[in-house]
């Protein structure tokens, strides 16, 4: 035995592992790294769909709540496409469902645009009579700053949700307002279960009998709003849906307090004139109804004196 054979082998200094070193089993088996988490996915997101239900924390619609409203915490929302684009808001089709169950419903998600993309070019007249407590918000809205436009978006969304809640609770034909969260409203989807939206009144060419029936439904809806002192503010054949023969009022962010707003009577007259012209042009018989007669009835209902100015006519 040689002399140096009895000496112990020099120890090798073990390198301290860096905190960002990749574990050996992941270096040798890269497929395991892919299992660590879904690439590009939110680790806190739902196993399917686009987001967890936003029901918790949102403002909810009026009672009694329809049985189709999905309120479970485990529900997920899935984006299905765009139903309508507009200057101030876009409407998307969303499915809210509880995975592993048959609980599902289709909703119309109305999302008001961000400050840099939103116009609100015709809002001044509609906002008269609506109060804001903070003077800073009033100045920001008047100057149309980015903050002011964000405040306006919240006010539009809040006004529409409040109006829909009030009208739906009174049995007036509007979509059920499921929830409001920020500048997003989730509303009853008016259409078929396969996601086909109900047509707008402007798209239809109803026969004589159907036309008369739709007129009577319209009168009932407008009188219902008038009992609350309200008018639509932008009523036309494009803001009315017809689903299985039922007339439904939509797009109510600019709803006007006829008495509280100095321009309220003019908005009321314009609403009736616009929609009345559509019905008359399609052959509404005079004995069934006339826009002038309807306007006078609405004025009396909201508390205006009979025979008030009809300058808009």
Three-class DSSP labels, 225-290: HHHCCEECCCCCCCCEEEECCEEEECCCCCCEECCCCCCHHHHHHHHHHHHHHHHHHCCCCCCCCC
CATH class of 52-188: alpha beta
Domain ranges of the chain: 52-188, 201-302
Give the residues across from 231 on adjacent strands. Answer: 256
Task: Note the pLDDT of residue 47.
Answer: 87
Residue 51 has pLDDT above 70, yes or no: yes
Chain segment 68-85, per-residue pLDDT in tens: 999 999 999 999 999 999
Task: Note the pLDDT of residue 86.
Answer: 86
pLDDT category of residue 30 using cuts at 50, 70 and 90: very low
The whole-chain average pLDDT of the chain stands at 83
Q: CA 283 to CA 310: how far, in whole Å? A: 24
Residue 136 has pLDDT above 90, yes or no: no
Structure tokens given for 27: 């270096």
Specify whether the CB–CB gap between 92 and 108 falls below 8 A: yes
Candidates 3.40.50.300, 1.10.510.10, 3.30.300.30, 3.40.50.1000; correct CATH number of 201-302? 1.10.510.10
Chain segment 145-172, per-residue pLDDT in tens: 554 455 555 688 999 999 999 999 999 9
Task: Note the pLDDT of residue 53.
Answer: 97
Task: Note the pLDDT of residue 282.
Answer: 97
Residue 19 has pLDDT above 90, yes or no: no
- Give the range among 57-61, 128-132, 193-197, 218-222 with minimum mean pLDDT: 128-132
pLDDT category of residue 274 using cuts at 50, 70 and 90: very high
Ordered strands of the 51-52 beta sheet: 51-52, 76-85, 89-97, 104-112, 184-188, 177-181, 59-60
Q: What percent of the chain has pLDDT over 90?
A: 67
Q: Mean pLDDT across the stretch 137-151? A: 49
Task: Note the pLDDT of residue 159.
Answer: 92
């Amino acid at each position: 035995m040689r002399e140096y054979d009895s000496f112990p082998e020099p120890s090798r200094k073990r390198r301290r592992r860096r905190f960002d070193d990749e574990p050996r089993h992941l270096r040798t088996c890269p497929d395991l790294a892919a299992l660590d988490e879904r690439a590009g996915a939110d680790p806190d997101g739902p196993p399917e769909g686009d987001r967890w239900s936003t029901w918790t924390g949102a403002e909810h619609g009026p009672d009694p709540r329809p049985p189709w409203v999905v309120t479970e915490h485990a529900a997920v929302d899935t984006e299905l496409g765009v139903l309508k684009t507009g200057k101030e808001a876009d409407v998307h089709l969303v499915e809210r469902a509880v995975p592993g169950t048959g609980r599902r419903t289709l909703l119309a998600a109305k999302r008001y645009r961000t400050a840099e993309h939103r116009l609100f070019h015709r809002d001044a007249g509609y906002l008269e009579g609506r109060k804001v407590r903070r003077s800073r918000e009033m100045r920001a809205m008047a100057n149309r700053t980015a903050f002011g436009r964000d405040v306006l978006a919240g006010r539009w969304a809040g006004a529409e949700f409040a109006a829909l809640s009030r009208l739906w609770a009174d049995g007036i034909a509007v979509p059920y307002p499921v929830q409001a969260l920020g500048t997003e409203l989730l509303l009853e989807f008016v259409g078929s279960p396969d996601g086909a939206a109900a047509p707008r009144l402007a798209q239809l060419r109803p026969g004589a009998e159907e036309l008369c029936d739709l007129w009577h439904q319209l009168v009932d809806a407008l009188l219902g709003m008038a009992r609350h002192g309200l008018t639509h503010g932008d009523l036309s054949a494009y803001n009315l849906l017809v689903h299985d023969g039922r007339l439904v009022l939509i797009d109510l962010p600019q709803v006007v307090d006829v008495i509280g707003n100095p321009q309220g009577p003019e908005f009321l007259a314009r609403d009736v004139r616009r929609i009345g012209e559509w019905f008359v042009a399609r052959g509404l018989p005079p004995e069934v109804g006339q826009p002038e007669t309807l306007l006078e009835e609405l004025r009396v209902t909201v508390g205006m004196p009979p025979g008030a100015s009809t300058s808009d006519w």
